[in-house]
Structure 1
Amino acid sequence: MAGFIEGIERGQTVLFPERLEDWIGEDSLVRVVDLFVDELDLPGLGFVRSAPARTGRPGYHPAVLLKLFIYGYLNRIPSSRRLEREAGRNVETMWLTGRLVPDHKTIADFRRDNGPAIRRTCAQFVELCRRIGTLKGDCVAIDGSKFKAVNNRDRNFTKGKIASRLVHLEADVARYINEMVRIDRQEEGEARVEKMEHLARRYGRIRQEIARLKAMDKALTDTPDGQISLTDPDARAMATSARHSGLVGYNVQNVVDTETHIIVTHDVTNQGFDRDQLSPMATAAKEALNRDDLHAIADKGYFSGAQILACHEVGITTTVPRPATSGNEGKGMFVKADFLYDPERDVYRCPAGNELTYRYSREEGGLTVARYWINECQHCPLQRRCTSGKERRITRWEHEHLVDDMRDRLKRDPDPMTLRRCTVEHPFGTIKAWMGATHFLTRRLRGVRTEMALNVLAYNIKCMVALIGIRRMMEAIPG
């Protein structure tokens, strides 16, 4: 009978003790982390030294803690307590930190106190990708995704939620009062006293909860968006793509290069919509890529005339589909796209061949729009498919040619929206898979931004290694 592969005897001694260096392969990802951090100008990025303990013991070098955090997020170990354990038992972390084992509070404090510097480190890696020529950034895709906060939905309040709870609590109060009256009339002895005391305690707790909710309802009048979150004050209730669902969390914005899938830039907001994010994110990507021009693709949630114009003014070409604001197309009726605009004569031509002429201009929602219409619709054979009124009206924004150009780009092959979907949704799926069915570990917007920067940095490192390999990556890191 064949034997088994046998391990080394635990008590066996060796003549020459093995070195930590011997346990780390030449192609180990931990070497990339070590070299990347060693090449950073940590004081220039804003990292601060840990304050020494009162006993006089010096603090840890920022490079040690930064390496530990990057390694943790690369290996799905974001918790400071888990990182403390890994530092004492993991050969790679021992090699990375020189066998130092910082306590979990020191690790957590480093992430809390160096948020802006960690975010600059993430941007520094993007600059490295651009410098070595891997990241060209001819075209980027923009998208947002909702991430759960540490705040539970039951600890997020709006006026509607408070009003609903108050109705139920007032009903409970009435029920307890009626029950106390019934017991007082029908029962005697010790059982009556015990029941009355029990109901009085329940009644008192409910009155306290009602007072707390009324005070919170009063405080809601001072909040700009009508929400209060008790655990994480910056977290907000947001709707998600699934029907009748939502979460309390943050809206993470990513700008991803369509060729390499590297995250060029990112941000975290507590606004539940994307409409105001097109220009800020596209402009930040243009600056990160150091380009004179840029093509940015986004979904219809980003459509905003003001945002599209702001991008155009700084040399950014945007492709964003216009959301359908009416159900006429589904009813088989004509929509605005069926009316052809003649820029030379400044008229619209309807499907029946008649012309809608310019009437006047005015400002709507901060945009200057012109009105066109025709008065001959009641005699037109296509009226039923066009309008139920006496005339058909068309509104045209003064920069409508930008929207027309976007519509033309959307009709080209390959479809930009397919490219967007295949590009920007992948990083979100990957990062959420790393985080698991959990939430951000930190609270407040500044902490969540730091945590997201570490996730993005870890994603980009893995992406670059997949593109060019570990050896080429290590050769390219030194400036």
Structure 2
Amino acid sequence: MGTPERGVHIMAKYKPYDYAQTMMVAVSLADQLQPGTLEHTIHYVVQERLDLRAFDAEHHNDDGGRPGYDPRVLLKVVLLGYSRGLLSSRKLEAACREQIVFMALCCGQRPDHSTIATFVSGMGEERISTLFSQVLLVCHEAELLGGTHFAIDGYKLSSNAAKESSGTHEDLRKKRDKLKELVREHVRTHQHNDRRSEDGKGGGSSSLLPRDPAKRLARLQRQAERIERFLNENEPRQGRSGTEIQSNVTDNESAKMKSSHGIIQGYNANAMVDAKHQVIVHGEAFGVGDDGAVATAMLAGAATHLTHATGEDDPLRQKIVSADTGYFSNQNLEAFEAAEVDAYVPDPKFRSRDPQLATAKRHRRPTDRRKQDYRSKRRWFRGDDFTFDEATERLMCPAGQRLYRCGHDHVTAQGYRATSYRAPKTACLSCELRDRCLQHPESGNPRQVRVFHGRVTETLTSRMKDKIDTPEGRQIYSRRLGIVEPVFGNLGAQKGMNRSTLRGRAKVDTQWKLYCLVHNLEKIARHGRPIR
């Protein structure tokens, strides 16, 4: 073979391929579930360790009728789909047709989306709680539970409802009336255009009405009737303080709440996490954004699951439980004390008392320091600007006027003994420092000051403040962030389980517990003993 001449192009030969071709491949379903993977762990735990006989009560087709799907198959598909961010039942149906791992889990069966949706929404609180306890038992046998320190926190879960449908009953009545007025205006415009057309002046429907006025009119009427029906069937919702809170026409058990993405309509999904391997020992969704009243339910649920998993009668007694400032309330602290747990819950101002942050201001950038100085600049005189003489028990204001006692000594709700003083009205009216002393100088009211003489009685909140301010308390509480926050990062950011596709607190709570099951099953796959 001779050497090719210079400048002559040589064509290379490659094997042909075509991505549009169809192949028939023999697949072993068992080989798709490799040990050590999450899908294999889901398959093993659901198939071998969970008791799903409670689901058999729904089927009465032993004598006749079409066979139903095994609940084990449906549960495996749902758990694996949730772990991959497939929250929609239609996406799960498509995955069972197109993805080989899903085909392996359901053994080639193809449950439709309505079957999957009915299975999840109809699972019920008792069944999902039983499944949660059984998975937690597997975690305990795999030595994943430490049982010494637990952290509680909440995650704002967007619901399947629009926040635009929220409002007090008065707001909803105004919205209903506005929709009815739009319907009447729509009809008047349509009648006006009809008369113009009959008079031969030409119809103006293209400019005055939308392209499909009939559909728009029907949609406005449905919205008004929906709000009207909601107002007739539902009473105003009451908040923890006894005042009315906003209702929602689509999902009245959800609530508006602040999240990292702004204001959302959703649920407050709480989780209680064990410190050793971040296993969730209890999860529950609440229809309020406030964490100040959830400790009782969280402690009771965690105790039930841990008792089933570990066999202890009182698994939380004398154990450390930490929570952030959102849980600092008398109701929560009473729940912690009743459960006899060693709780660490800081108040919202505890960082201002931290000695390590005393010099934090001087380490800020110049721009940040200027903003902080502007925000914290005092405009009015405070209590420490008044001089108190302990010998005579007299109080002098910065202008040199003497304040007199008004009322006897009393004890505040925080347990401090205090004395109230008031300046003479005539002295304040002519005082040159009036604008710096009174927030509302035009009101004519004199300045009042309260002098505290120390704590007389201890309260739950005062004891918790003293406890969290100790070096040991701050050190224990500092572990909370690394225990519970990565759990929400895994569920929301990594797995995509950051919203609920269902409506109603019971159904959303079921779906949240399924999300928590996915997290615990992944802990079993990664840190548990190898499963063969």
Which of 455, 458, 463 aligns to 1:404? It is: 463
Question: Which aligned pairs between 1:6-25 and structure 2 lie closer than 5 A?
Answer: 19-25=28-34
The counterpart of 2:278, out of the listed 252, 261, 264, is 261
Identify the match of residue 247 of structure 1 among 250, 260, 264. Answer: 264
Whole-angstrom CA distance in 2 between matches of 1:5 and 1:281: 63
Letter in 2 for 1:316: V
- 1:154 equivalent in alignment to 2:164: yes
- The range that moved more, 162-171 or 275-284, is 162-171
Contact 1:50 1:59 (C-alpha < 8 Å) held by counterparts = yes
> Is 2:144 aligned against 1:134?
yes
**1:421 has 2:478 as partner:** no
- SS state at 1:42 partner: coil
Q: Is the Cα–Cα contact under 8 Å of residues 282 and 296 in structure 1 kept in the other structure? A: no
User: Percent same amino acid at aligned positions?
Assistant: 22
2:263 counterpart letter in structure 1:
G
Shift of residue 454, structure 1, vs aligned partner: 1.4
Paired residues of 1:257 and 1:264 also in contact (CA < 8 A)? yes
Distance 1:269 1:473, change over 3 A: farther
Larger Rg: 2
Change in Cα spacing, 1:375 to 1:33, as seen in structure 2 (3 Å) is closer
- Does the residue aligned with 2:201 lie in a helix, a strand or coil? helix
Would you say the 8 A contact 2:139–2:520 is kept in 1? no
Are 1:229 and 1:235, in contact at CA under 8 Å, matched by a contact in 2?
yes
Q: Secondary structure at the match of 1:190?
A: coil
Q: Report 1:37-436 matches (<5 A).
A: 37-43=46-52, 48-50=57-59, 52=61, 56-115=65-124, 116-159=126-169, 161-162=171-172, 165=175, 189-191=199-201, 221-224=235-238, 225-240=244-259, 245-289=262-306, 290-324=315-349, 370-373=415-418, 389=448, 391-393=450-452, 399-400=458-459, 403-412=462-471, 415-433=475-493, 436=496
Cα offset, 1:303, TM superposition: 1.0
CA 1:114–1:220: 2 relative to 1, 3 Å: closer
SS in 1 for 2:49: coil
Instruction: Tell me the distance in 2 between the aligned counterparts of 1:177 and 1:12.
Output: 60
Residues 330 and 460 of structure 2 are in contact (CA less than 8 Å); yes or no, is this contact kept in structure 1?
no
Q: Corresponding residue for 1:464? A: 524
CA contact (8 A) 1:47 1:117 kept: no
Does the residue aligned with 2:200 lie in a helix, a strand or coil?
helix
Distance 1:150 1:3, change over 3 A: farther
TM-score by length of 1: 0.72
How far the C-alpha of 1:456 sits from its partner, in A, is 0.9
Contact 1:50 1:61 in 2 (8 A): no
Unaligned runs of 5+ in 1: 337-357, 379-383
Q: Residue in 2 aligned with 1:451?
A: 511
Q: Residue deviations 1:326-352, cap 9 Å, x none? A: x9996789999xxxxxxxxxxxxxxxx
Amino acid at match of 2:301: A
Specify the SS of the correspondent of 1:119.
helix
Give CA deviations for 1:332-380 in whole Å, capped at 9, x if unaligned. 89999xxxxxxxxxxxxxxxxxxxxx95669x6xxxx6451358999xx
Alpha-carbon distance, 1:316 to partner: 0.7
Name the SS of the counterpart of 1:100 in structure 2: coil
Mean Cα deviation higher: 266-275 or 133-142: 133-142
Q: 2:154·2:271 contact (CA, 8 Å) conserved in 1?
A: yes
Shift in alpha-carbon separation, 1:474–1:373, aligned structure 2, 3 A: same
Counterpart residue identity of residue 492, structure 2: K
Q: CA deviation at 1:424?
A: 1.8
The answer as to whether partners of 1:318 and 1:406 remain within 8 angstroms in 2 is no
Equivalent residue, structure 2, for 1:441: 501
RMSD across aligned C-alpha pairs, in angstroms?
Answer: 4.8
Question: Which amino acid in the other structure matches residue 373 of structure 1?
Answer: A
Alpha-carbon distance, 1:25 to partner: 3.0
Offset from partner CA, 1:151-186 (integer Å, 9 cap, x none): 112223324643664786699799999999x99xx9
Amino acid aligned to 2:326 = G
Aligned match of 2:403: none
Gaps of 5+ in 2: 1-10, 239-243, 307-314, 354-374, 385-407, 424-436, 438-446
Provide the rounded CA distance (Å) in 1 between the counterparts of 2:477 and 2:259.
Answer: 20
Per the TM alignment, residue 85 of structure 1 is displaced from its structure 2 partner at its CA by 2.5
Letter of the 2:482 counterpart = C
Task: Report which stretch shifted further, 161-170 or 69-78.
Answer: 161-170
